[in-house]
Structure 1
Amino acid sequence: MRVAIFENDGKKSQKVSKELYQKLVDAHIPIDNDDPEIVITVGGDGTLLAAFRNYQDNLQNIRFVGVHTGHLGFYTDWRDDEIDDLVISLQSDNKQSINYPLLDVKVEYYDAEPEKFLALNESTLKRINNTMVTDVYIGDQLFEKFRGDGLCISTPTGSTAYNKSVGGAVIHPGLESLQMAEIASINNRVFRTLSSPVIVASNDWITLKPTQSGDFIFSVDQEIYHNKQIKMIKYRVAKERICFAKYRHNDFWKRVNEAFIGSDYED
């Protein structure tokens, strides 16, 4: 079993990463950052997102494990003081895993070649200076003409991130779906949107066709893109999935409770 360590630049994460590296060496577990079977991230959810991007071309062969050096995240199961237990789990690994849906994002431009992205959390489209006007299709049918600041399309695991902050629903990652949440929509007697999150099944898709050109901000997870003339963006549940080594993968609703409520939760 080949293991890679992927850490952020924080002092604590760097320290934990060095300790973990030595413990893996002492346990005779091969370390291979180029072609790993397991990627251990040391940091937080942002670090795991960065590792996901780094290894997304080989997701079918990789399982992720998250070690958090700050607050408990949705993708990090282990604390920094538990790396001895993590190494023991790696030594007794039997390929156990849990996998979650990803977001397939295809973008067509007026002034460039098409691009494809994978998102673990979400993708957004916003306009910088003026109201964004965008035709929204679900499947092949025109659903609405959106006017507002922007739209957020998220995965079930990403539903607790930016999606939740703009009023989207929290969705269990066992559901094969994607969600569209509005960002400051305009609703009056002249202009009208559904003004509610929309959850779409895996056999359908969402297409955005902006009616203007220029000054868009398009994002995929932590990456931001601009200065391209966007013609159309198509979102659907990806064929690819992300896998986590299921040594002690915490219950999703327990994570939600700890992150947002903080009361006692019984499994």
Structure 2
Amino acid sequence: MHNDRVTTRVAVRHLQVLLAEAGILQDQDHPDLVISVGGDGTLISAFHKYQKQLDHVAFAGIHTGHLGFYTDWRNYDMEKLVEALASHPVKEHSVTYPLLAMKVTTSSGIKEYLALNEASIKRVSKTMEAEVSIGGCRFENFRGDGLCVSTPTGSTAYSKSLGGAVIHPRLKALQLTEIASINNLVFRTVGSPIVIAPDEWITIVPKNTDRAVVIVDGERIALTDVMQADYRIAQEEISFYEYGHHHFWDRVNEAFIGDVK
């Protein structure tokens, strides 16, 4: 998959030539490896397109613009990527990271979603009030703009901007972060990010169901009358082509710090 930028289209044409010259077959319907060309948003779109094939597909990202967190290769590194694919099989050189499973209960039924980065629940115009439970035990009564549940890979995305911790993606954990919570003499929340163990789950029950908004990996889901949202680590995992996959903390440094002297 790729975006529509001119530099991206040029890179895609060159990549297709390189793959053909190396004798690597290209299968859009049932691939072993999905190569996204663009940025992190392109890779997330690719993930959702192929999320029903996660048991046998891996991902690799080529970025053609600003530095991407999920994209390990630059457009001028494509020859190295193709050479690696020719000599280092995808199935033998992949690393897996956890995903987020979200189940939303509405008056019309249950909807299930899979997230690579995060899923959040908000209220459109007024303060959201919701009961929050962890592992089946009531935790707090939240008041504020909303709540975000992120994966470890998603901890560097929206969750980080909310003050969440950066979590290594090999850890099977979820993180709950508050979005502009109200904390005063009347209303109190824990006021800090919470990291959830792999055998626990998060339940959010909005008290104003008619105006709750669900957002999964940046995309707003058209739902009405949200009665409950449950979050847990998914049974599915995402696989990335490990050959050439940058060390996690190197990527964090490159994305947020850089070579500051």
- Global fold match (TM > 0.5): yes
Supply the distance in 1 between the matched residues of 2:221 and 2:73 (Cα, whole angstroms): 33
Match of 1:135 among 131, 137, 143: 131
Match of 1:194 among 183, 190, 194: 190
Aligned to 1:105: 102
Supply the distance in 1 between the matched residues of 2:10 and 2:66 (Cα, whole angstroms): 17
Aligned to 2:48: 53
Equivalent residue runs for 1:113-192 within 5 Å:
113-192=109-188
Deviation, structure 1 residue 264: 6.7
Aligned to 1:244: 240
> The residue matched to 2:209 in structure 1 has which SS?
coil
Supply the distance in 2 between the matched residues of 1:78 and 1:227 (Cα, whole angstroms): 37
> The residue matched to 1:114 in structure 2 has which SS?
strand
Amino acid at match of 1:262: G
Count of aligned pairs? 259
Aligned to 1:213: 209
Aligned to 1:9: 4
Supply the distance in 2 between the matched residues of 1:10 and 1:153 (Cα, whole angstroms): 31
1:154-173 deviations in Å (ceiling 9; x for gaps)? 00010010000011111111
Deviation, structure 1 residue 182: 0.3
> The residue matched to 2:8 in structure 1 has which SS?
helix
% identical aligned pairs: 50
Aligned to 1:3: none
Preserved CA contact (<8 Å) 1:127 1:217: yes
Deviation, structure 1 residue 226: 3.8
Preserved CA contact (<8 Å) 1:23 1:87: yes
Runs of 4+ in 1 over 4 A off after TM superposition: none
1:71-123 deviations in Å (ceiling 9; x for gaps)? 2212111000011111101101232111100001011101x221111100000
With the length of structure 1 as denominator, give the TM-score of the two structures: 0.95
Amino acid at match of 2:15: L
Supply the distance in 1 between the matched residues of 2:226 and 2:25 (Cα, whole angstroms): 44
> The residue matched to 1:158 in structure 2 has which SS?
helix
Preserved CA contact (<8 Å) 2:214 2:223: no
Supply the distance in 1 between the matched residues of 2:114 and 2:6 (Cα, whole angstroms): 30
1:39-58 deviations in Å (ceiling 9; x for gaps)? 10000100000000000000
Q: Please state if 1:19 is matched with 2:14.
A: yes
Amino acid at match of 1:251: H
Match of 2:226 among 209, 224, 230: 230
Amino acid at match of 1:67: I
> The residue matched to 1:71 in structure 2 has which SS?
coil
- Runs of at least 5 residues in structure 2 that lack an aligned partner in the other structure: none
- Runs of at least 5 residues in structure 1 that lack an aligned partner in the other structure: 1-5
Q: Please state if 1:38 is matched with 2:64.
A: no
Deviation, structure 1 residue 204: 0.2
State the Cα RMSD in Å. 1.2
